Structure formats: C-alpha cells, structure tokens
Amino acid sequence: MASESVLRIALDASGAKQGAREFGTAVATVADQATKATKAADGFEKELKETGAAADQVKGKVSGAATAIAQSEKSMTLAERAAATLKGSIGGLVAGYAGLATVQKAVGYITAFETAVKKIQVIGGLDETSDAFKAIESTARELGRSTQFGAGEVAGGLLELTKAGLEASDAIKTIKPALDLAVAGDISLGKASEVLLATLAQFQFSAQESTRVADVLVKQANASQSSVDGLAEGFRVVGPLANALGVTFEETAALLGVLNDNAIKGSDAGTGLKTVLAALLQPTSDTQAALADLGLNLKDIDPRVKGLSGVFRTLGAAGLDAGNAFRLFGSYGATVGTVLAAN
C-alpha cells in the first residue's frame, strides 16, 4: 500500500513539473504576445501621429489653396477694375478723337468758306463792303443751312461760276439750280455748274434760264435711259449747231433722249445728231435723188421750217429705209437718222 502511495506521489510530482513547464511556456507565449501587442500599439500610435501630421499638412495645403483662391479672386477683381478703367480710358480717347475730328471738320468747312469767298472778292473785283459781296456771303450761308451742301461747298460753286465770268448777281441766280442739278443728277456740284454754264452758252441763254435748263436736263434724264452727265456730253457736241438751226433746247434734249434709249449715248449721240443736221443744211445731189425716191423735196426736210422733230416725222411717214438713210446722212449719220425717223 505504501509503495502505491509513493508511486502516486511521484506521478503527481512528475505531472506537476510537466504542468509547470507548460505553464511557463504559456506565460512566455503570453509575454511574447504582450510584447508584440505593445509594439503594435506603439506602431499604431506612430502611424496615428504620422497621419495627424499628414492631416495637418493637408489642412495647411487646403488653407494655402483657400488663401491662393482668395488672392486670385482679389486679383481678378483688380483686373476687372483695371479693365473697366482701361475701357473707360479707351472710350474717352475715342470720344476725344471723334470730338477732335468733328472740330477739325468744322474748321475745314470754315476755312473752305472763307477761302472761296475771298477768291470771289478778288476775281470778281468786289469791295468787301459792297452789296454784291455781302449778297454772295449771305447766299452761301443760307444755302448751306437749307440744302445738303455746306456753306463752304456753296461758296466753292459760286467761285466756279465767278471764274466762268458771271457777275455776282448772275452767279447767285445760277447756284441754286446748280445745287438742284447736282442732287437730282447725282453729280458733283462742280460738274453741275460746268454743265449749266456750258448749256447756257451753247443756246445763248442768260443766267435767268438756269432753272429751266436744270429742270429739262433732270426731266429728260429721268424719262429716258440717259443721265445728266450723258446728256451734257451730247449737248457739248451738237448744242451750238442745234441752236444755230433754231432747234430748241427742249427738242434737242428729247432727241438725245431717244438716241440714248436706243443705245446711242453721250458724245456718240451728239456726234450722230450733228452729222444729220449738217447733212440737212448742206444737201448734195445724192440727197435730192434720195428725197425724190421718197416723194419729198428739200423744203420737206428743212429743220428751220419744220423743226427737227417734224423733219424726222416726215421721213418716217415717207418710209425712210437704211439705203436712203445712207444716201441722205452718210455712213455715220445713217443709224441716227433711221432711229429718229422710226421714233
């Protein structure tokens, strides 16, 4: 029994020793795990600190970005203000330039007026205190206010009329029709004055007829496919001869209008009509033979008796053809004679 008790104790002691070893191992394992846990905790803490530092950096960067944005917005506001200021400055410069241009233009008008009036005084031999000179000045100013032309332009037109030899009173009578002709005929005032003066001279009209001439030219230009300038070119060639034959200004204008409608324009119309008139005034034996073929005689085609329009009506009624037209008016006048006889 005693041996069994000793054996049991020995076994128990052996088990206790083994348990102690296992316990020690377990304690060591726990300690090791605790150490690892501590290190992990320390690492975690370090990471937290690093994260916090990073967060602080991010926060700093965000704050810096916000500051930069604010500064940018401030800069943009300043830029906008600067742009507005610049725009206002440019606008002021433009307005100033426009104002300066207006002033310069006005000064130019005044200078042109004074220069033209002074030249009229010298060329016309007018005294500055004379009624004629004062009438020139007042006419230029009045028409400068009441028409689309400036006083300087009107004075320039009066100067051209004075250069052509018109007295102050005649220049004043002519300038208003010249202005009207320039507007209605779509030509310059200088050209209108030139046309009026030339036509007055061609038909030996006085300045009193200026309105009549201007009205006929505008009316005929509007009634046909011609222009004031084109009619003037025709009158330049045929006007003196038409007047010498007693053909009226109005009739000559109408005939030139018919030729323009048939594509014979400007100086060509004047030259053709002049050729026809010359043939009528100086008939040849061939002319008389051609008239005989038509059943006519020289008196039937005398423009001084029947008028030029009457002559062409007579020829048209007699059946004038191209062959007879060549015999009557020659190669250059045949086309014009045929066209006028047919119209």
36-77 pLDDT, tens per residue?
544 544 553 454 355 444 444 534 543 554 454 455 445 445
Specify the DSSP element, H or E, that contains 118: helix 2-124
* pLDDT tens for each residue of 67-109: 544 554 454 454 455 445 545 555 554 444 445 444 444 445 5
Closest to 274 in 3D by CA, of 305, 313, 303, 310 = 303
Q: Which of 11-20, 75-84, 235-244, 275-284 has the lowest mean pLDDT?
A: 11-20
pLDDT over 50 at 141, yes or no: yes
How many CA atoms, within 13 angstroms, populate the side-chain half-sphere of residue 206? 5
Answer whether residue 135 shows pLDDT above 90. yes
Across the range 259-283, mean pLDDT stands at 92
Residue 338, pLDDT > 60, answer: yes
59-84: b (≥16 Cβ within 10 Å) or e: eeeeeeeeeeeeeeeeeeeeeeeeee
Q: What is the mean pLDDT of the segment spanning 118-140?
A: 93
Task: Specify the higher pLDDT residue, 162 or 105.
Answer: 162
Length of the chain as a residue count: 343
Average pLDDT of the chain? 78
Stretch among 75-79, 127-131, 255-259, 303-307 having the lowest mean pLDDT: 75-79
Q: At what angle do helices 210-223 and 249-261 cross, to 10 degrees?
A: 20
Between residues 221 and 49, which one has the greater pLDDT? Answer: 221
Q: Are 306 and 314 in contact (CB under 8 A)?
A: yes
CA 164 – CA 161 distance, rounded (Å): 5
Instruction: Please identify which residue in the block is written with the tokens 């048939």.
Output: 262
User: Which pLDDT value is given to residue 88?
Assistant: 57
Spatial separation of the C-alpha atoms in residues 137 and 150, rounded to whole Å: 13
Q: What pLDDT score was predicted for residue 17?
A: 47
C-alpha dihedral (296, 297, 303, 305), degrees to nearest 10: -110
Q: Does 322 score more than 50 pLDDT?
A: yes
Residue 249: per-residue pLDDT = 95
Query: The whole model's pTM is what?
Result: 0.65
- Start-end of H helices in 186-265: 189-202, 210-223, 228-244, 249-261
Residue 252 in this model has a pLDDT that exceeds 70: yes
Lowest mean pLDDT among 8-22, 24-38, 78-92: 8-22
pLDDT interval class at 254 (50, 70, 90): very high
More confidently predicted of 196 and 81: 196
